[in-house]
Amino acid sequence: MVERDDGDARTVTATTLERPQARALLELDSVSKRYESVSETIHAVEDVDMSVRERELVALLGPSGSGKTTLLLLIAGLLRADGGSVRFEGRDLASFTKSEALAYRRTKLGFVFQDFNLSAGLSAQENVCVPLLLRGVPHGEAHGRARASLAQVGLERRLTHTPDRLSGGEKQRVAIARALVGEPKLILADEATGSLDTETGDAVLELLAALPREHGAAVVLVTHDIRATRHADRVLQMRDGRLSELQ
Ligand SMILES: Nc1ncnc2c1ncn2[C@@H]1O[C@H](COP(=O)(O)OP(=O)(O)OP(=O)(O)O)[C@@H](O)[C@H]1O
Ligand SMILES: [Mg+2]
């Protein structure tokens, strides 16, 4: 919660209080991406305008093949747009050098995937350390921060467990701890509950929905799961590569 020094607090909504400087973090302007094959051109993302403010929770719905993952890859700079621009904190991703793009992904973004993407041979704590070690954070500090991050997702008693000794929900919590540990500005979650049963998925959704409030990160939550929309500040929908706002 923000500190306030005036007497008008009662006239300000809770949403405003939680987002004191809700400026645009991410801005997409007429972004398009085509995949070319010998026989056809797939217009995976077409003329998309989108913005995400700091600490905003945006749910992105849409049928299979509508372009959701492609959009996340464009936002992450892992794919380059054929047209339009993706700006993060005012900077066009197309202007990044390779090392700036890498630094952008490592320091500003966190990723959560449907299939967890944990390293099989590493413990929960080691998995969470990875993004910090890649950034050159010293070993001892990385382990301390990883432990704290795992405690924040309720896994302080699973530090030494390798993924094969964790439940699906626990694996996703480790992945969320890993996404969080570098204090990113934006978390991109692609079908984070897709491999989980309803109850476990609900708990993971709650955790993701709390990230803006508790960790100051904006979240783009790609999902087929309509339940995610109840947590979202905004709900967007992709259809055939085009984006519209539902709520
Ligand atoms: N690397 C690729 N090469 C060619 N076509 C691709 C590639 N990746 C995706 N596509 C096509 O682009 C379209 C959008 O795919 P995308 O993965 O973005 O959809 P999605 O909304 O994430 O689907 P899902 O909900 O099934 O994950 C689909 O028609 C897909 O077949
Ligand atoms: Mg996808």
Dihedral (C-alpha) 58, 61, 67, 69: value to the nearest 10 degrees?
60
Residue 179 parent element (H or E): helix 168-180
Query: 223: CA distance to ligand 2 center in Å?
Result: 9
Place 22 in a pLDDT band, splitting at 50, 70 and 90.
low
Q: Return the ligand number nearest the Cα of 243.
A: 1
Instruction: Scan for tokens 């008008």, then name that residue.
Output: 8
Q: In the CATH scheme, what is the code of domain 20-245?
A: 3.40.50.300
**Ligand 1 and 115: CB distance under 6 A:** no
- pLDDT of 19: 47
Spatial distance between the Cα atoms of 192 and 175, rounded to a whole number of angstroms:
9
Q: What tens digit of pLDDT does each residue of 44-71 get?
A: 999 999 999 999 999 999 999 999 999 9
Q: Does ligand 1 have an atom closer than 6 angstroms to the CB of 65?
A: yes
Residue 21 confidence (pLDDT): 52
Query: Which of 79, 75, 72, 84 is CA-nearest to residue 26?
Result: 75
CA-37 nearest atom, ligand 1: 4
Q: What is the bridge-based pairing of β-strands 109-113 and 24-36?
A: unpaired
State pLDDT tens for residues 162-174: 999 999 999 999 9
Write out 27-68 in H/E/C secondary structure.
EEEEEEEEEECCCCEEEEEEEEEEEEECCCEEEEECCCCCCH
Q: How far is CA 47 from the centre of its chain?
A: 22
Instruction: Please state the atom number of ligand 1 nearest to the C-alpha of residue 67.
Output: 18
User: Per-domain residue ranges for the chain?
Assistant: 20-245
Smallest CA separation from ligand 1 atom 25, residue: 64
Q: What is the pLDDT of residues 126-155, one digit of tens each?
A: 999 999 999 999 999 999 999 999 999 999
Rounded distance, CA 8 to CA 11, Å?
A: 6
Ligand lying closest to the C-alpha of residue 224:
1
Output the residue whose Cα is nearest ligand 1's atom 12.
44
Q: Is the CB of 114 under 6 A from ligand 1?
A: no
More confident residue, 125 or 15: 125
